[in-house]
Amino acid sequence: MYESPIREKLILGGKTYHDISSDICRPLENKASKGWWIGFTLSAIVLAVWIYATTYTMLVGIGAWGLNKTVGWAFDITNFVFWVGIGHAGTLISAVLLLFRQKWRMSINRSAEAMTIFAVICAASFIVSHMGRPWVAYWPIPLPNAFGSLWVNFNSPLVWDVFAISTYFSVSLVFWYVGLIPDIATIRDRATTKLRKFMYNYFSMGWNGSTRAWHRYEMISLILAGISTPLVLSVHSIVSMDFATSLVPGWHTTIFPPYFVAGAIFSGFGMVLTLLVVGRVVLKQEEYITLEHLDAMARIVMLTGTMVGLAYITEFFVAAYSGVEYEQYAFINRATGPYWWAYWTMMSCNLLAPQVFWIKWARSTPWFLFVMSIIVNIGMWFERFVIIVTSLHRDFLPSSWTMYAPTITEVSILIGSFGLFFTLYFLFVRYLPTINMTELKSILVLKDSKHSHDKSEKGEAHHG
Amino acid sequence: MLLGVYDNPDTVLEATENLIKSGYDIKDVYTPFAVHGLDRVMGIKRTRLSTAAFVFAMIGIASALTLMIYTSVVDWQMNIGGKPSFHIPTYIPITFELGILFTAFGMVSCFFIVNRMFWGRVTDVIDIRVTDDTFVIAVNVHEKTDVKALENSLISNGAIEVRERINEI
| Chain A touched by B164 (CB under 8 Å) | no
Treating both helix axes as pointing N-terminal to C-terminal, what angle do A366-385 and A291-322 enclose, rounded to 10 degrees? 30
Question: E strands of chain B, at which residues?
Answer: 2-6, 26-30, 135-139, 161-164
Domain holding A306, by residue range, is 17-143+151-443
Structure confidence at residue B169 (pLDDT): 60
Q: Which residue of B has its CA nearest to A439?
A: B33
Structure confidence at residue A132 (pLDDT): 81
Q: Is A60 helix (H, G, I), strand (E, B) or coil?
A: helix
Please check the confidence at residue B54 and state whether its pLDDT lies above 90. yes
Structure confidence at residue A107 (pLDDT): 86
Q: What is the CATH number of the domain that holds A186?
A: 1.20.1630.10
Gap from B39 CA to chain A (nearest CA, Å): 6
Own/partner long-range contacts of B161-168 (Cβ < 8 Å, ≥24 apart): B161/B4, B161/B5, B162/B2, B162/B3, B162/B4, B162/B5, B163/B2, B163/B3, B163/B5, B164/B1, B164/B2, B164/B3, B165/B1, B165/B2, B165/B3, B165/B126, B165/B138, B166/B1, B168/B1
Instruction: Name the band, by pLDDT with cuts 50, 70 and 90, for residue B43.
Output: confident
Residues A260-276 pLDDT 10s: 999 999 999 999 999 99
Which chain A residues have a beta carbon less than 8 Å from that of B96?
230, 234
Q: What angle do CA B169, B10, B40 make, to 5 degrees?
A: 60
Phi, psi of A248 (to 5 degrees): -70, 125
Gap from A198 CA to chain B (nearest CA, Å): 8
| Chain A touched by B20 (CB under 8 Å) | no
Query: Are residues B97 and A142, on separate chains, in Cβ contact within 8 Å?
Result: no
Gap between the Cα atoms of A136 and A133, Å rounded? 6
Gap between the Cα atoms of B21 and A14, Å rounded? 35
Q: Is residue A456 part of a domain?
A: no
Which chain A residues have a beta carbon less than 8 Å from that of B72?
151, 153-154
Q: Which of A163, A206, A220 sits opposite B97 (nearest CB)?
A: A163
Quick count: other Cβ atoms within 10 Å of Cβ B154?
A: 24
Please check the confidence at residue A4 and state whether its pLDDT lies above 60. no
Gap between the Cα atoms of A439 and A432, Å rounded? 15
Gap from B146 CA to chain A (nearest CA, Å): 25
Query: Are residues A215 and B119, on separate chains, in Cβ contact within 8 Å?
Result: no
Contact A394, A60 (CB under 8 A): no
Treating both helix axes as pointing N-terminal to C-terminal, what angle do B88-114 and A211-244 enclose, rounded to 10 degrees? 160
Quick count: other Cβ atoms within 10 Å of Cβ B119?
A: 11
Q: Which of B76, B103, B123 sits opposite A208 (nearest CB)?
A: B123
Gap between the Cα atoms of A54 and A409, Å rounded? 8
Gap between the Cα atoms of B50 and B61, Å rounded? 17
Structure confidence at residue B86 (pLDDT): 87
Residues A288-311 pLDDT 10s: 888 888 998 999 999 999 999 999
Gap between the Cα atoms of A401 and A272, Å rounded? 39
Q: Which residue of B has its CA nearest to A199?
A: B120
> Which residue(s) pair with B136 in the sheet?
B5, B30
Q: Domain-by-domain residue ranges, chain B?
A: 2-46+126-164, 49-114
Which chain B residues have a beta carbon less than 8 Å from that of A17?
32, 132-133
Which chain B residues have a beta carbon less than 8 Å from that of A185?
123, 125, 131
Gap between the Cα atoms of A359 and B42, Å rounded? 49
Gap from B148 CA to chain A (nearest CA, Å): 25
Query: Are residues A160 and B97, on separate chains, in Cβ contact within 8 Å?
Result: yes
Query: For the residues of A143-192, what is the DSSP string, one character each?
Result: ---TTTS----TT-HHHHHHHHHHHHHHHHHHHHHHHHHHHHHHHHHH--
Residue A13 DSSP code: S
Please check the confidence at residue B164 and state whether its pLDDT lies above 60. yes
Q: Is A119 helix (H, G, I), strand (E, B) or coil?
A: helix
Residues A370-423 pLDDT 10s: 999 999 999 999 999 999 999 999 988 889 999 999 999 999 999 999 999 999
Contact A301, A273 (CB under 8 A): yes
N residues, chain B: 169
Chain B interface test: which of A214, A232, A445 (most B C-beta within 10 Å)? A214
Q: Which of A150, A220, A449 sits opposite B111 (nearest CB)?
A: A220
Chain A interface test: which of B100, B107, B116, B129 (most A C-beta within 10 Å)? B100
Which chain B residues have a beta carbon less than 8 Å from that of A217?
34, 111
Count the domains in chain A.
1
Instruction: Name the band, by pLDDT with cuts 50, 70 and 90, for residue B83.
Output: confident
Gap between the Cα atoms of A201 and A195, Å rounded? 10
Contact A58, A129 (CB under 8 A): yes
Q: Which of A17, A142, A210 sits opposite B133 (nearest CB)?
A: A17
Gap between the Cα atoms of A414 and A54, Å rounded? 10
Q: Which residue of B has its CA nearest to A165?
A: B97
Cβ–Cβ pairs < 8 A, chains A and B = 206
Q: Which of A205, A438, A454 sits opposite B36 (nearest CB)?
A: A454
Structure confidence at residue A458 (pLDDT): 41
Query: Are residues A206 and B122, on separate chains, in Cβ contact within 8 Å?
Result: yes
Mean pLDDT of A276-293: 88
Gap from A209 CA to chain B (nearest CA, Å): 5
pTM for this model (two decimals): 0.91
Mean pLDDT of A154-163: 90
Gap between the Cα atoms of A202 and A404, Å rounded? 51
> Which residue(s) pair with B162 in the sheet?
B4
Contacts of A423 (CB under 8 A, 6+ apart): A40, A43, A44, A46, A47
Residues A408-462 pLDDT 10s: 999 999 999 999 999 999 999 999 999 988 888 888 876 555 444 444 444 443 3
Q: Give residue A277's identity as a one-letter amino acid code.
A: V
- Where on the phi/psi map is residue B76: left (φ > 0), alpha (ψ -120 to 50), or beta? beta
Contact A299, A409 (CB under 8 A): no
Quick count: other Cβ atoms within 10 Å of Cβ B128?
A: 11
Average predicted confidence (pLDDT) for chain A: 87
Contacts of A32 (CB under 8 A, 6+ apart): A40, A430
Query: Are residues B108 and A185, on separate chains, in Cβ contact within 8 Å?
Result: no
Range name among A276-290, A437-451, B133-147 with the lowest pLDDT average: A437-451
Which chain B residues have a beta carbon less than 8 Å from that of A438?
32-34
> Which residue(s) pair with B4 in the sheet?
B137, B162
- Those of residues 93-132 in B touching chain A at CB distance below 8 A are 93-94, 96-98, 100-101, 103-105, 107-108, 111-112, 114-126, 128-132
Structure confidence at residue B87 (pLDDT): 85
List Cα–Cα distances, A165 to A169, A231, A236, in angstroms: 6, 10, 9
Q: Which of B38, B111, B117 sits opposite A206 (nearest CB)?
A: B117
| Chain A touched by B139 (CB under 8 Å) | no
Gap between the Cα atoms of B42 and A150, Å rounded? 57
Treating both helix axes as pointing N-terminal to C-terminal, what angle do B49-69 and A211-244 enclose, rounded to 10 degrees? 30
Q: Which of B44, B93, B126 sits opposite A160 (nearest CB)?
A: B93
Query: Are residues B118 and A223, on separate chains, in Cβ contact within 8 Å?
Result: no
